Amino acid sequence: MARKRTARRPPPPPPNPNPNRGAAPASGSASPSSKRMQAFHFLRALARIHSTATTVPRRTRTIRRAAYSSMARAANPRRAWSQALLRQVRVRRAMRSRRAVLLRRRVSAAPPPPAAAAAASAPPLIGAASARSIVVASPAGETSARGGGPPPRQAGEPARADALRRLVPGGSEMEYCSLLDETADYLRHLLAQVQLMQNLVDLHSAQ
């Protein structure tokens, strides 16, 4: 009797040691889906900024923060640089809500002004200095609560790695190998953000 021959199955591929590496194409640019999500978040933030009447310097700062926020929301949520940017957004939002609460308390606690002299002799309420001290103290408390200083320098690590850690969000807590990987992904999304903003400028200048 002839024996049945069974086809041999190929061995399974080895697991990817870095699952984040497959998220970006080999061309060095962000993936198309990431670019679409980045454009969606940025255009939605621009529409919200446009509907709010603010001064030009404040609007410039808000647009810059919206650009970084859209980059972080479109990136892989496991990326350390995107987590650091989103953490800054949450801290800034908490500071803004705390300042609004202090202003509401000040307005509700202020007595009706009977005269200018009485208002001048009245004891000061929660002033801007106290609110400013609370706002300034929040980032330091958030940094200390996060804990963890810079990682120990590895053998063969160049001295320029410290400058790179200051440029990449959250880089002060990364080891050198992770820093290089995070820097490459951060630059991909940064390049996509620059191209998106340049396309918007070209579109509006052509009209």
Q: Which is nearest to 184 in space by CA: 168, 163, 160, 172?
A: 168
Better pLDDT: 145 or 42:
42
Q: Are 39 and 33 in contact (CB under 8 A)?
A: no
23: which residues sit within 8 A by CB, 6+ positions away? 31, 34, 76, 185
* pLDDT computed for residue 130 by the predictor: 41
Task: Please answer whether residues 135 and 99 qualify as being in contact, where contact means their C-beta atoms are separated by less than 8 angstroms.
Answer: yes
159-194, pLDDT tens digit by residue? Answer: 788 888 889 999 888 888 889 999 999 999 999 999
Show Cβ contacts of residue 48 under 8 Å, excluding neighbours closer than 6 positions: none
- pLDDT one-digit tens code per residue, 78-95: 899 999 999 998 898 888
Measured CA to CA, the distance from residue 62 to residue 51 in angstroms comes to 13
| Cα–Cα distances in angstroms (integers) from residue 124 to residues 9, 132, 152, 188, in the given order | 81, 15, 49, 52
Q: What percent of the chain has pLDDT over 90?
A: 16
Q: Where are the domains of the chain?
A: 30-108+164-207
pLDDT surpasses 70 at 45? yes
Tokens 């892989």 — which residue?
76
Full-model pTM = 0.59
Tokens of 199: 């396309």
DSSP H or E segment with residue 144: helix 128-146
